[in-house]
Amino acid sequence: MNLNITGRHLEVTPAIREYVVNKLARVTRHFDNVIDTQVILSVERVNHTAEVTIHVPGKDIHCEATDENLYAAIDLLADKADRQILKYKSKLQDHANEPAKRQEIPAE
């Protein structure tokens, strides 16, 4: 998984980078077909925002979380991303077991 971390109006320190990597490792534990992940951390006055776009085969999953503390925003973001990945994975598994639809040819 390629992980790209960007900061808007914020310097991404090694501590923040390590925290994001550890939190998003849970996503790869649940679903290992993640192609690319882009994280954007930003600060606007009091609010800290964390956004993630996860590229998986056939879909892009986007999550966003805002909090007064950057680490809390990253925690919320990891929880949301994990829930969406699990939902995507269950949909893939459900649709993989469906039988193909047969088309009825009208009798003449």
Strand, coil or helix: what is 104? coil
Q: Is residue 26 one of the residues assigned to a domain?
A: yes
Residue 12 has pLDDT above 70, yes or no: yes
54: in domain = yes
Q: Answer yes or no: is 104 within a domain.
A: no
List the domain range (segments joined by +) for residue 18.
2-78
Identify which has the larger pLDDT, 102 or 67: 67
Residue 69 in tokens? 């503390």
Domain count for the chain: 1
Is residue 53 assigned to a domain? yes
Stretch 73-102: mean pLDDT: 83
Q: Is residue 89 very low, low, confident or very high in pLDDT (cuts 50, 70, 90)?
A: confident
Question: Is 83 part of a structural domain of the chain?
Answer: no
Any domain includes 27: yes
Section 24-53 average pLDDT: 89
Q: What is the CATH number of the domain that holds 59?
A: 3.30.160.100
